[in-house]
Structure 1
């Protein structure tokens, strides 16, 4: 055996000579050894491949193997990263790991176009299949509800009910306690002598919403309140009002925003209308120290289930009803907002332009208003409005 091993280290000629002179028995033994060696190498190679495959599997992200079953609706929130979407899908048991989802999304060029909203997916599906469904807008559960600026709570409930099929009565019941829906208690603090009337009025932010199929009246109203708080924070509404509006509370500024929203005929007049409201209620130069705006009377009529009216059709009893807490002749601002203002109206009430205006009137059919500091100027503007067929 030692001699045979030593042959491998002899020079090439001697090695060839010895192998060529081997006996048939030795040649058979050599062939068998060669076959064994090949099988051994093949086995080692297979083991190595199997080990490599196991190693790669160990380091790859956990993923489901099938296409999934049992539909589930998941939400992609505005601003979500791929990782955040992956976490949402893991919680819903759609994908096995957020790592697998991120890897699959990065391999799909269309994943950059995943839109916020609700999607119908399946539980326990491959990550790449989940990505494919998310980039396909046909899988979005689109139940958009457009709530425009200036709608009162009463009107908003009607819009929501029509779009979702949830009875108005359920919205009314859910909306009775604004604090339970997320409105912080400090919002109902006032610095004037008028007592706040806690309600959802002013806090149902107007925009187009997409609610999940299983949404309830309470969850819808809570989402709208959360949107309002987000919008107010984005423009630093509370801090700015407290610093710049002469000591009035954010709630009073919200009341002014609601007045501007419904009184301004065009967006460009929102700030000036807000300034008129401040000047009348707090400026000291308006004779009654009141708003004297008919829209507050209409709001009271609506709250009591009565039809609203044009100013010219209102009776003196309706205009100056002493039992009406929204009476246009009462000093200061009304007990609550009279509608739900949008972002531009909030901005206008927070930072209105400087001016001594006490009067305004729409002077054309586009809704543009003329503003005046004296009654004489206001009367001239009214004449212009009549000439243009507005009054």
Structure 2
């Protein structure tokens, strides 16, 4: 082609020359061919550039579906999932065509940061922007979440789960009878003080906000809570740390964590209450005298908890109560509630102090700690002066 273009543009012959006329005519023909070939070349090059551009542009334009989608599909968004992780879940369910399209759609919608975990009814093959709209619509969310606060007993937890899921509390009680079936390792029920063990789910149902599958049964729900307990205790190395720092079994430390969770009025006092429990149970070999253990026994027997000052001698000294800490030395037979992460950490690393007593001294729940009776009496007087209703006031 280049040779022909070169020839085509050679100088034409003189007009009067016959042979030159022939050459002129041939030159004009070649010029036309050259022009045609040049235009063709530009067309091919232009088409190639356009084709290449569309191909390259395809790498930057996110693949997306059009419209509102087709059939319904349930999608569960995990707790604390990022926008990208949510997009991945939607791609798996064929709700959106690409994670990139979903991410771009959330960037265009400021409310996207409010997308919550849970199970949603969406539609397959939706445009990403419509998927975002649906995720922000509370009517598409099947599960609303169930929150179990720290310090709730297993019985209280079953009632909260029943209210949040519609599954009868009796189903949870039945499922909890076999902790091993829920995933609690048998080694957790080991004590170093040779005292009896209450093999139950109490203490292992970690307090948190859960998004359960709407189709989950009682056993599956409790398994999820036990799994969360094992995850958290694993993250803080609870079992290893309590044996290293406090020299007790993980189960005994779990009991202490539950006692601190019930007795402490704020997070700051959790490790301090744990220290009192360890000192009384192991160093001084004296009863804990924690009224919360009496109230726990009352609840197990279908009775209401009472303020400390209203507990009777018969209730506090009940010989049938395996959780008796008024007259029995050492820790009770098991945990009395579900302690949270802070309580577990407090029982794992309590401060080194000689405290044997504590009492709430203000209406914000702060406690004062003492190592002697005399110090404790001063703290009780301080509580009375601050309007705290003690039996001694």
Shorter-chain TM-score above 0.5: yes
Partner of 1:73: 75
Q: 2:307 aligns with which of 307, 310, 317?
A: 310
Partner of 2:238: 237
Matches within 5 A, 1:1-391: 8-11=8-11, 44=44, 48=48, 52=52, 55=55, 63=63, 65-67=65-67, 68-69=69-70, 70-78=72-80, 80=82, 82=84, 84-98=85-99, 104=104, 113=113, 115=115, 117-118=117-118, 119-127=120-128, 129-130=130-131, 136=136, 141=141, 143-245=144-246, 247-283=247-283, 285-286=284-285, 289-328=286-325, 329-387=327-385, 388-391=387-390
Secondary structure, in 3 states, of the residue corresponding to 2:76? strand
Do the aligned residues in 1 keep the contact of 2:206 with 2:339 (CA within 8 Å)? yes
Q: Size of the alignment, in residue pairs? A: 377
* Alpha-carbon distance in 2 for matches of 1:13, 1:86: 73
- Normalising by structure 2, what TM-score? 0.78
* Alpha-carbon distance in 2 for matches of 1:368, 1:101: 48
Secondary structure, in 3 states, of the residue corresponding to 1:318? helix
* Alpha-carbon distance in 2 for matches of 1:13, 1:61: 58
* Alpha-carbon distance in 1 for matches of 2:181, 2:367: 40
Distance change >3 Å, CA 10–CA 75, structure 1 → 2: same
Using the TM superposition, give the Cα deviation of residue 273 of structure 1 relative to its aligned residue in structure 2, in angstroms: 1.3
Secondary structure, in 3 states, of the residue corresponding to 1:179? helix
Do the aligned residues in 1 keep the contact of 2:65 with 2:97 (CA within 8 Å)? no
Q: Any gaps of 5 or more consecutive residues in structure 1?
A: none
* Alpha-carbon distance in 1 for matches of 2:35, 2:114: 58
Secondary structure, in 3 states, of the residue corresponding to 1:180? helix
Secondary structure, in 3 states, of the residue corresponding to 2:368? strand
* Alpha-carbon distance in 2 for matches of 1:138, 1:31: 73
* Alpha-carbon distance in 2 for matches of 1:19, 1:86: 73
The CA deviation string for residues 47-72 of structure 1, in whole angstroms up to 9 with x for no partner, is 74786488559867894533322243
The CA deviation string for residues 324-344 of structure 1, in whole angstroms up to 9 with x for no partner, is 211222232112110111222
Moved more, 228-237 or 33-42: 33-42
* Alpha-carbon distance in 2 for matches of 1:31, 1:167: 93
- Normalising by structure 1, what TM-score? 0.79
Q: Any gaps of 5 or more consecutive residues in structure 2?
A: none
* Alpha-carbon distance in 2 for matches of 1:323, 1:314: 16
* Alpha-carbon distance in 2 for matches of 1:43, 1:64: 32
* Alpha-carbon distance in 2 for matches of 1:155, 1:357: 31
* Alpha-carbon distance in 2 for matches of 1:58, 1:122: 26
